[in-house]
């Protein structure tokens, strides 16, 4: 099912029902693990794992560092689902398929999406291994009409013209910032703007300079479509980038990046990212309980 006409609410429903029939506890938080960050999924207790190849309508992972498994389980008393590997446009998947899991999670009752990625820094003060809480994004493919919302709108998911104000939930951002300080990571935590490019090539020097001028602090090849779809269907979103490299913005420098470097830095910083997200999940649980009491 690759053409836009083939995409229907019913496909998401079919996938959600298939999973619901097998999963012990329906998840309230979904976590997308970026390149090399799948170890987070291994911290879930009482896990249930499903290879993407077994899940109806799911694409499969083709990128090293993206295992291709959906793992359900408990994290600090909260029922979560982790995508151990995500889908990218450069793999050849249409955007509605890249983001299909988000809509499936919505149908399963997920309230909050935590999205992580590996990204290159465009900001002079960020170092390799730092973390950036995403406060906003520039969706380069989206600006050129390559949006996951392109095509007929199904109002059961959300409105035709959604607002993207506060996509990266203000409250979750300040909570995460507090947690990072409390865990002793004040030196490496930042808040900034993530720019999504299509990839799979890394940026040219001229492109990197252009993105910096536009106001981007970090650049990567994912996340924005997932955040747009989550916001469209009414989820709260928290985004976190691990800075795996500093993007070269001057000529005659030999400091090029490759995917292996990205994976090595992800492995190196995995524990810190895990600790931060685990604490955040515990806090979200209390926030969601309070919200339910107020409804």
Residue 106: closest CA among 239, 236, 284, 292: 236
Contact between 119 and ligand HPA per CB under 6 A: yes
> Judged by CB under 6 A, which stretch of 40-48, 95-103, 130-138, 214-222 contacts ligand HPA?
214-222
**SS3 state of residue 88:** coil
Answer for which of 189, 221, 229, 277 binds ligand LQZ7MJT6 (CB under 6 A) is 221
145 alpha-carbon distance from chain centroid: 21
Instruction: Please confirm, yes or no, whether 190 is among the known catalytic residues.
Output: no
Question: Would you state the structure tokens that stand for residue 178, as one six-digit string?
Answer: 């507090």
Q: How far is the CB of 102 from ligand HPA (least distance, A)?
A: 20
**SS3 state of residue 207:** helix
Instruction: Please confirm, yes or no, whether 46 is among the known catalytic residues.
Output: no
What is the Cα–Cα distance from 236 to 198, expressed in whole angstroms? 24
Answer for which of 55, 108, 149, 247 binds ligand HPA (CB under 6 A) is 247
Instruction: Please confirm, yes or no, whether 118 is among the known catalytic residues.
Output: yes
Q: How far is the CB of 37 from ligand LQZ7MJT6 (least distance, A)?
A: 7
DSSP string covering 111-173, please? -EEEEEEEEEE-STT--TT-EEEEEEEEEHHHHTT--TT-SS--TTT--SS---TT-B-HHHH
Tell me which residue has tokens 């499936």: 104
Binding site listing for phosphate: 35, 66, 86-88, 118, 222
What are the residues binding ligand LQZ7MJT6 (CB under 6 A)?
34-35, 63, 86, 88, 117-118, 199, 220-222, 259, 262
Catalytic positions are: 35, 66, 88, 90-91, 118, 221-222, 245, 259
What are the residues binding ligand HPA (CB under 6 A)?
118-120, 202-203, 219-221, 244-245, 247, 257, 262
């Amino acid at each position: 099912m690759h053409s836009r006409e083939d995409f229907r609410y019913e496909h998401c429903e079919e996938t959600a029902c298939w999973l619901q029939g097998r999963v012990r506890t329906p998840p309230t938080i979904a976590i997308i693990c970026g390149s090399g960050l799948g170890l987070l999924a291994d911290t879930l207790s009482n896990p249930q794992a499903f290879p993407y190849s077994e899940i109806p309508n799911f694409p499969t992972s083709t990128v090293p560092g993206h295992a291709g498994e959906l793992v359900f389980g408990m994290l600090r008393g909260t029922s979560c689902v982790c995508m151990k590997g995500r889908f990218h446009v450069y793999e050849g998947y249409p955007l509605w398929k890249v983001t299909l899991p988000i809509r499936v999670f919505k149908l399963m009752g997920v309230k909050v999406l935590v999205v992580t990625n590996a990204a290159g820094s465009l900001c002079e003060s960020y170092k390799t291994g730092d973390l950036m809480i995403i406060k906003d994004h520039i969706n380069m493919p989206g600006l050129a009409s390559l949006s996951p919302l392109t095509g007929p709108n199904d109002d059961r998911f959300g409105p035709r013209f959604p607002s993207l104000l506060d996509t990266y939930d203000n409250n979750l951002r300040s909570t995460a910032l507090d947690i990072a300080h409390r865990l002793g990571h004040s030196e490496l935590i930042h808040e900034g703007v993530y720019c999504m490019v299509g990839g799979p090539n890394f940026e040219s020097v001229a492109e990197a300079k252009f993105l910096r001028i536009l106001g981007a602090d970090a650049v990567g090849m994912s996340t924005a479509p997932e955040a747009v779809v989550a916001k469209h269907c009414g989820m709260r979103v928290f985004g976190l980038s691990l800075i795996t490299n500093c993007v070269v913005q001057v000529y005659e420098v030999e400091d090029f990046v490759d995917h292996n470097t990205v994976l090595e830095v992800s492995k190196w910083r995995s524990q810190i990212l895990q600790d931060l997200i685990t604490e955040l999940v515990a806090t979200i649980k209390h926030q969601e309980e309070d919200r339910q009491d107020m409804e």
